[in-house]
Amino acid sequence: MNKDYFLALADYNLWVSRIAASWLNELTDDQWNQVIPSSFDSVKQTTLHLVSAEKIWLDYWQLVPDPVFLITQFDGTKEDLIQIWLQTSVALKLFIESYPPEAYPQSVCFTWRGVNWQMAFWQTFAHFINHATYHRGQLVTLLRQVGFTKLSSTDLATYFRVHPSVETLLFPDL
């Protein structure tokens, strides 16, 4: 497992979090709260789930005692949630920068739906990236449904195209 690849994914996550945050900053309160049938019933609830998941995975990786899923206690504003999201994405990138590759196969303990689990760090990180991408796709659909149209591509291929230096980082011999 290549640390540079993990770093590229953490950077991608930060890049796309900043783009999504810029979209959310343009929403009206009505758009933010509009009820729409989906996994989570509004842009607000979908964003809260995304941020909660990112934050709790970072807490698990950093061995924070008794981490709390943000969605269970958040009562702040849209701006508060966006700020938490951006701070968490930066913290995640910093964490990956300092996390030693020899620890990638080590187990991470976490709780899911009241049950304690363990998976290798690399598996939980891959899950986190995949999970975030899945729910950002839902967020894009919800944004379109509330009338927001200033969207741009945020997929991984786009990230690699606009950040060509990542290829040099991953494959220095090319």
Q: Which residues are annotated as a binding site for a divalent metal cation?
A: 49, 131, 135
Sign of CA dihedral 102, 126, 109, 50: positive
What residues are designated binding site?
A: 49, 131, 135
The DSSP line for 113-146 is: TTEEEEEEHHHHHHHHHHHHHHHHHHHHHHHHHT
φ and ψ at residue 112, rounded to 5 degrees: -135, 120
Residue type, 107: S
